[in-house]
Amino acid sequence: MLTAVIRSDGSQQALAATLAILIPAVAEGFLGHAVIVDLVGVAETERAADATGARYLRASRERAWQDAAAKARGDRLVLFDAGDVPQAHWVQAVERHLLVAAGKPALIPLRGAAASLHERIAFSIGGRGLAAGLVMPKAMALAGRLDQAPVRLPVSRERAG
């Protein structure tokens, strides 16, 4: 089962944009669970988690991904920042990756040349920290770092809000 982890900095519009794109994946049975990590302690974020059936967690930015991984039900995670909106066929791209190389991390890259280049550089120079857009085994998220560079998926994500 795949769990979505959404890191929220308090913007309810950004959180709503990401949650809206995840609803079809839940309806299809592809996404089984979500954890919303509140970085700033906004009551509306907790209410949004409750209204959507997601688990709510208050955590620091430094520990957000790891703490959320510990609360995730699934054995595979997809990490998003509130406001991340993956392209229409992201589910098929992630599903294919999980069928072919489930043990390897993957990345739904940000759209745009500058953002994409920044991500490429970050992962190519030895950066193995956790970041939004990653699809990975839960064990890697619990460890707080990737054991290898992620595979870039053929879809991208944009930032809303």
pLDDT category of residue 135 using cuts at 50, 70 and 90: very high
Smallest CA-to-CA distance from 71 within 7, 142, 147 is with: 142
Distance CA 146, CA 155 (A): 21
Q: Residue 19: which CATH number?
A: 3.90.550.10
When comparing pLDDT for 21 and 119, which is higher? 21
Per-residue model confidence (pLDDT) at position 114: 59
Domain count, the chain: 1
Q: Has residue 27 got a pLDDT over 70?
A: yes
Q: Does pLDDT of 126 surpass 80? A: no
pLDDT band at 129 (very low <50, low <70, confident <90, very high): confident
**Sheet with 2-8: strands ordered across:** 55-58, 31-38, 2-8, 76-81, 134-137, 106-107, 151-152
SS3 of 48-106: HHHHHCCEEEECCCCCHHHHHHHHCCCCEEEEEECCEEECCCHHHHHHHHHHHHCCCCE
pLDDT bin (cut points 50, 70, 90) of residue 42 is very high
What is the pLDDT averaged over residues 98-123? 78
Output the pLDDT for position 64.
95
Rounded to the nearest integer, the mean pLDDT of the chain is 91
What are the angstrom distances between the C-alpha of 134 and each of 10, 13, 14, 52? 21, 22, 18, 22
For residue 141, give its domain range.
Answer: 2-159
According to DSSP, residue 158 is labeled E
**pLDDT of the residue at 93:** 97
Give the confidence band of 125 by pLDDT, cuts at 50, 70, 90: very low
pLDDT digits (tens, 9 = 90+) for 76-94: 999 999 999 999 999 999 9
Band the pLDDT of 147: cuts 50, 70, 90: confident
Question: What whole-number distance in Å separates Cα of residue 78 and Cα of residue 146?
Answer: 13
Which of 54-63, 104-113, 125-134 is the least confident region?
Answer: 125-134
User: H or E stretch including 12?
Assistant: helix 12-27
